[in-house]
Amino acid sequence: MNITRLIGAGVITCLVLAAPLTAVAQDISLDGPVGVGGRVEVAEAGYAVTLPQDWLHIRPSDSDVDTIVEQVAGVVPELGPTIAQALAGGLGFSLLAFDSEVQAGFTENCNVLDRLSDSLSIDDIGAEEVAKLDGFGDLIVGEPELSFVALPSGRAARLDLNLQLPEFVTASTSYLLTDGVWIHTLTCTDLVRPDDGWLSIAQTFELLTMVR
């Protein structure tokens, strides 16, 4: 697959913070299979999510992840070591989805990152994510906002964040959910945050491996 002027995926920190990257103003060739919007099931990571019908999505292969990381590190060098450390620590990058139309060199997008939960509560997960933002003070515009929302799949931590990147100020909303086995971080990013903070997508998120 060839993606032109895309990536607004999610940056990766050691504890699965997903904050927006930048749009990469060049073509990126990815190997993973491409699908069109609708329900996407990622059984090996224990979740499914339903995407807008006019979006595309890809399940990144290992080589795709390497390509994305290289591009991100080239644009925002200070993120390179953080991303490498997170991936080496077992973080999974299981889904990248995006609007098929690119606006002003950037496209609205969502991604999902996964890691094992260590039996943390959703309150602890949210607090942990906010604490890890201290290392990215130069990139953050304004104050991050942490809240908690009730989704059909359970109580989720919501983190709203704006980042100053080389070409853009991006707005993202991350929803963090846990099923007792995995912590999933669904992050959506655009140049402007929609009024609902992508809640309509988060509400479709299904946990397939709930531990009771």
Q: Which CATH number is 132's domain given? A: 3.40.1000.10
- Does a structural domain hold residue 161? yes
Average pLDDT across each block of 10 residues of the chain; the chain has 212 residues. List them in order.
36 32 41 77 92 86 70 65 65 80 72 85 90 76 92 95 79 90 88 90 88 42
Residue with tokens 């993606």: 3
- What 192-200 contacts at long range (C-beta under 8 Å, 24+ apart), as own/partner pairs, is 193/160, 197/158, 197/160, 197/173, 198/110, 198/173, 199/149
Q: Which domain holds residue 68?
A: 2-207
- Does a structural domain hold residue 212? no
**What's the pTM?**
0.81
List beta partners, residue 207.
Answer: 47
Instruction: Yes or no: say if 191 and 168 are a contact pair by the CB < 8 Å rule.
Output: yes
Q: Is 64 helix (H, G, I), strand (E, B) or coil?
A: helix
* Signed CA dihedral, 112, 87, 78, 160: sign only: positive
Q: Which pLDDT value is given to residue 44?
A: 85
Count other Cβ atoms within 10 Å, centred on residue 88.
Answer: 9
Residue type, 21: L
Per 3-state DSSP, the chain is made up of helix, strand and coil in percentages (nearest 5) of 25, 45, 35
Q: Which pLDDT value is given to residue 212?
A: 39
- Does a structural domain hold residue 63? yes
- Number of domains, the chain: 1
Q: Which pLDDT value is given to residue 6?
A: 36
Q: Which pLDDT value is given to residue 128?
A: 86
Give the Cα separation of 162 and 26 in Å (integer). Answer: 23
